[in-house]
């Protein structure tokens, strides 16, 4: 038995036999050719056959998945029309009297090396596209069959160095229980596809293809990024039980779609979704979220070589607002820096990036980047119910400055005759202890707070949230974290503004009763957790849980908080 850990790419538990996808490495040996034109014709025919494949796949994806995913194959089709690639091969055949396979390998290798050598992650990932297109042509040249994952005979866990975009897009969703790869991360095609298809996946396992054999049993947890090869009976039982619980719960939770989120004694709660891309809208709808409580706009800025234009941003914001209108959509202004560095934005390397120029600090320095985003947001505001959220506010001065820039931007738009909504709500994220401590003051200047517990915990406990060595000190149960949350909610209530929570704590089933008791009525979380939260809340009585507040605030240590939570869980929240 071996326990491996990789990058969690798509949540869920899977247990099944390995289907090992061999690394596609057709052997190419240079050979002499009789006729240049015959070789060129052979190459053309292989390109045309590849185009036909891709056309079919693209249509299939369009019909069964969506236009965004089909765009990958459109991009592959475009590569097949790219003169640098295609004429490059034909010229090589002619000038070096080379066979088509060798010419193709050399030209493709050149492109792959160029892409792989690029600093930008998005462009580096394009190397995989060139390789995939070249392999497709090569297979046609060599008369080889493509591994067809669209009609599998039995249930499998796919294990591959990297799945190609077309393999992922066409795989038989009913038969593929899970996906494991050597390479790849959260933004790779495989991860995006796996999430869309709801197939649990762990990527970036480095050498999983060497560690397993065809037919081996593997257990994986896509949320934890954990993989167990040849699990023993005890682990097998645990995973089976977890999977059963997961399936049972998922089915049971469907009954909560369309129901109001209301406690037994009539307190209404709003459950919203955290999203990172327009694609996540499908999950928002499917899980019946009551709005978007946090749209992390930095994802729009990632995986590219330059910032998105105002128009591109406008289109994304408009798409989300339109799709969800009249439900509220909270869009957070660029939260870059910290662990989310972007080369093209030229953020200098810092000793302590989490304590450096990130989020609103960056935006207040780089006014044009900030104003471009604000213009896009304002223009989009007429399409729905928009709230704008400023991240990492630590002083009132920063908030006032951000609001001033927003007002300036509004006035510029007015001068141009461009309309925007006059009911946009303005909020700050409370994710730094200084902001929590002055939340009574900040509350006078905003319409709402959103508590970002992911950062609030790291700054309260002085623990870099990505540093494994001090991980144990990153503690949502620390009494200081609880007291700050309680303080912020009370200050918001006293000022008559609304308060939401969008950090991971909001979706944690153990903590929901306590947060409700503290007075929280807006929870924003991973869309997959919404129905579970609704079920919990509908089973609670606010009158009862509120009695626990002094007990939580009186806890001396995190362990006491956990004991109390366990006690509350056993006794239905009280």
Which residues are tagged catalytic? 189, 502
Determine, following the binding rule CB under 6 A, whether residue 502 of this chain makes contact with ligand PEP.
yes
Least spacing, CB of residue 453 vs ligand PEP, in Å: 5
Q: Which is nearer to ligand PEP, 111 or 459 (CB)?
A: 459
| Diameter over CA atoms, the chain | 89
Give the Cα separation of 399 and 422 in Å (integer). 19
HEC-encoded secondary structure of 219-263 = EEECCCCEEEECCCHHHHHHHHHHHHHHHHHHHHHHHHCCCCCEC
Query: Which one of 21-29, 110-118, 403-411, 451-459 is the stretch in contact with ligand PEP (CB under 6 A)?
Result: 451-459
Asked if 447 and 426 count as a contact pair (C-beta separation under 8 A), the reply is yes
Query: Which one of 168-176, 400-408, 446-454, 480-488 is the stretch in contact with ligand PEP (CB under 6 A)?
Result: 446-454
Determine, following the binding rule CB under 6 A, whether residue 455 of this chain makes contact with ligand PEP.
yes
- Whose structure tokens read 């045309």? 48
Nearest C-alpha neighbor of 222 from the set 198, 206, 244 = 198
Query: Which one of 52-60, 79-87, 147-155, 453-461 is the stretch in contact with ligand PEP (CB under 6 A)?
Result: 453-461
Applying the rule CB under 6 A, the residues between 400 and 439 that interact with ligand PEP are 431
Question: CB neighbours (10 Å) of residue 185?
Answer: 15
Determine, following the binding rule CB under 5 A, whether residue 455 of this chain makes contact with Mg ion.
yes
**Cis peptide upstream of residue 217 (ω within 30 degrees of 0):** no
Asked if 166 and 143 count as a contact pair (C-beta separation under 8 A), the reply is no
Determine, following the binding rule CB under 6 A, whether residue 527 of this chain makes contact with ligand PEP.
no
Give the Cα separation of 195 and 213 in Å (integer). 25
Q: Which is nearer to ligand PEP, 128 or 392 (CB)?
A: 392
Least spacing, CB of residue 503 vs Mg ion, in Å: 7
Q: Which of 11, 12, 328, 503 binds ligand PEP (CB under 6 A)?
A: 503
Q: Which of 53, 125, 129, 335 binds ligand PEP (CB under 6 A)?
A: 335
Applying the rule CB under 6 A, the residues between 265 and 294 that interact with ligand PEP are 294
Least spacing, CB of residue 340 vs Mg ion, in Å: 10
Q: Which is nearer to ligand PEP, 452 or 573 (CB)?
A: 452
> Terminus-to-terminus CA distance in the chain, angstroms?
42
Number of residues this chain uses to bind Mg ion (CB under 5 A): 3
- Number of separate helices (H) and strands (E) present in the chain: 24, 16
Q: Which is nearer to Mg ion, 162 or 455 (CB)?
A: 455
Nearest C-alpha neighbor of 433 from the set 391, 485, 357 = 485
Q: Which of 16, 204, 427, 452 binds ligand PEP (CB under 6 A)?
A: 452
Number of residues this chain uses to bind ligand PEP (CB under 6 A): 10
Q: What are phi and psi of 181, to 5 degrees?
A: -135, 160
Q: Which is nearer to Mg ion, 429 or 568 (CB)?
A: 429
- Give 62: exposed, middle or buried? Use CB within 10 Å, 0-12, 13-18, 19+: middle
Applying the rule CB under 6 A, the residues between 178 and 207 that interact with ligand PEP are none
Helix (H, G, I), strand (E, B) or coil at 466: coil
Q: Which is nearer to Mg ion, 190 or 450 (CB)?
A: 450
From ligand PEP, Mg ion, none, which one binds at residue 6 (CB under 5 to 8 Å depending on kind)?
A: none
Least spacing, CB of residue 454 vs ligand PEP, in Å: 3
Nearest C-alpha neighbor of 334 from the set 365, 355, 292 = 365
Least spacing, CB of residue 524 vs ligand PEP, in Å: 8
Give the Cα separation of 196 and 183 in Å (integer). 19
- Whose structure tokens read 């965004």? 68
Least spacing, CB of residue 337 vs ligand PEP, in Å: 10
Least spacing, CB of residue 565 vs ligand PEP, in Å: 20
Nearest C-alpha neighbor of 36 from the set 81, 93, 101, 106 = 93
Q: Which is nearer to ligand PEP, 202 or 506 (CB)?
A: 506
Least spacing, CB of residue 337 vs Mg ion, in Å: 11
From ligand PEP, Mg ion, none, which one binds at residue 453 (CB under 5 to 8 Å depending on kind)?
A: ligand PEP
Give the Cα separation of 312 and 73 in Å (integer). 22
Q: Which is nearer to ligand PEP, 298 or 366 (CB)?
A: 298
Least spacing, CB of residue 327 vs ligand PEP, in Å: 19
Determine, following the binding rule CB under 6 A, whether residue 337 of this chain makes contact with ligand PEP.
no
Give the Cα separation of 391 and 380 in Å (integer). 20
Count Cβ neighbours within 10 Å for each residue of 423-444 and write b for 16 or more, e otherwise.
ebbbbbbbbbbebbebbeebbe
From Mg ion, ligand PEP, none, which one binds at residue 296 (CB under 5 to 8 Å depending on kind)?
A: ligand PEP
Asked if 448 and 387 count as a contact pair (C-beta separation under 8 A), the reply is yes
Give the Cα separation of 562 and 574 in Å (integer). 14
Q: Which is nearer to Mg ion, 291 or 452 (CB)?
A: 452
From ligand PEP, Mg ion, none, which one binds at residue 503 (CB under 5 to 8 Å depending on kind)?
A: ligand PEP
Structure tokens at 208: 């999983």
Determine, following the binding rule CB under 5 A, whether residue 452 of this chain makes contact with Mg ion.
yes
Determine, following the binding rule CB under 6 A, whether residue 135 of this chain makes contact with ligand PEP.
no
* Beta bridge partners of residue 268, listed in sequence order: 262
Angstrom CA distances, 181 to 117, 159, 354, stand at 22, 6, 31
Give the Cα separation of 9 and 188 in Å (integer). 9
Q: Which is nearer to ligand PEP, 164 or 333 (CB)?
A: 333
From Mg ion, ligand PEP, none, which one binds at residue 498 (CB under 5 to 8 Å depending on kind)?
A: none
Angstrom CA distances, 318 to 132, 377, 471, stand at 34, 8, 39
Least spacing, CB of residue 402 vs Mg ion, in Å: 16
Catalog residues that contact ligand PEP under the rule CB under 6 A.
294, 296, 335, 431, 452-455, 502-503
* Chain contacts with Mg ion (rule: CB under 5 A): 431, 452, 455
């Amino acid at each position: 038995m071996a326990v491996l850990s990789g990058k969690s790419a798509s949540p869920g538990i899977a247990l099944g036999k390995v289907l090992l996808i061999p690394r596609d490495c057709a052997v190419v040996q240079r050979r002499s050719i009789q006729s240049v034109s015959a070789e060129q014709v052979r190459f053309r025919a292989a390109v045309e056959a590849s185009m036909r494949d891709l056309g079919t796949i693209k249509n299939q994806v369009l019909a069964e998945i969506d236009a965004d995913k089909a765009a990958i194959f459109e991009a592959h089709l475009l590569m097949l029309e790219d003169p640098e690639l295609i004429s490059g091969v034909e010229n090589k055949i002619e000038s070096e009297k080379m066979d088509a396979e060798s010419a193709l390998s050399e030209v493709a290798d050149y492109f792959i090396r160029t892409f792989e050598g690029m600093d930008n992650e998005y462009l580096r990932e394009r190397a995989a596209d060139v390789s995939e297109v070249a392999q497709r042509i090569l297979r046609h040249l060599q008369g080889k069959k493509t591994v067809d994952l669209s009609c599998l005979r039995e249930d499998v866990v796919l294990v591959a160095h990297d799945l190609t975009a077309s393999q992922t897009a066409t795989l038989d969703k009913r038969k593929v229980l899970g996906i494991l790869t050597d390479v790849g991360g959260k933004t790779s095609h495989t991860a995006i596809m796996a999430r869309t298809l709801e197939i649990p996946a762990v990527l970036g396992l480095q050498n999983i293809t060497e560690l397993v054999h065809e037919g081996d049993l593997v257990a994986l947890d896509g949320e934890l990024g954990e993989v167990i090869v040849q699990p023993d009976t005890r682990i097998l039982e645990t995973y089976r039980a977890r999977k059963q619980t997961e399936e049972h719960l998922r089915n049971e939770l469907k009954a909560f779609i369309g129901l109001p989120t209301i406690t037994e004694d009539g307190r209404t709660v709003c459950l919203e979704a955290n999203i990172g891309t327009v694609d996540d809208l499908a999950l928002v709808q499917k899980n019946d979220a009551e709005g978007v409580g946090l749209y992390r706009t930095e994802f729009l800025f990632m995986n590219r070589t330059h910032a998105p234009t105002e128009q591109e941003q406008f289109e994304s914001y408009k798409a989300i607002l339109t799709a969800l209108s009249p439900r509220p959509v909270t869009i957070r202004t660029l939260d870059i820096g910290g662990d989310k560095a972007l080369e093209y934005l030229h953020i200098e390397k810092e000793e302590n990036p989490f304590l450096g120029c990130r989020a609103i600090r960056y935006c207040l320095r780089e006014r044009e980047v900030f104003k471009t985003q604000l213009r896009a947001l304002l223009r989009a505001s007429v399409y729905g119910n928009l709230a704008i959220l400023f991240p990492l506010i630590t002083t009132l001065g920063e908030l006032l400055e951000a609001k001033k820039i927003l007002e300036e931007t509004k006035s510029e738009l007015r001068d141009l005759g461009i309309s925007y909504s006059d009911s946009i709500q303005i909020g700050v994220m409370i994710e730094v202890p200084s902001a929590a401590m002055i939340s009574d003051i900040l509350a006078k200047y905003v319409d709402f707070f959103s508590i970002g517990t992911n950062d609030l915990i790291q700054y309260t406990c002085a623990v870099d949230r990505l540093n494994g060595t001090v991980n144990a000190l990153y503690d949502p149960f620390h009494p200081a974290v609880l007291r700050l949350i309680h303080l912020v909610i009370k200050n918001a209530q006293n000022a008559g503004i609304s308060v939401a929570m969008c950090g991971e704590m909001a979706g944690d089933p153990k903590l929901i009763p306590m947060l409700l008791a503290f007075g929280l009525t807006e929870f924003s979380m991973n869309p997959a957790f919404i129905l579970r939260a609704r079920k919990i809340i509908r089973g609670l009585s606010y009158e009862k849980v509120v009695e626990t507040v002094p007990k939580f605030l009186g806890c001396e240590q995190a362990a006491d908080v956990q004991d109390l939570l366990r006690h509350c869980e056993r006794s239905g929240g009280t």
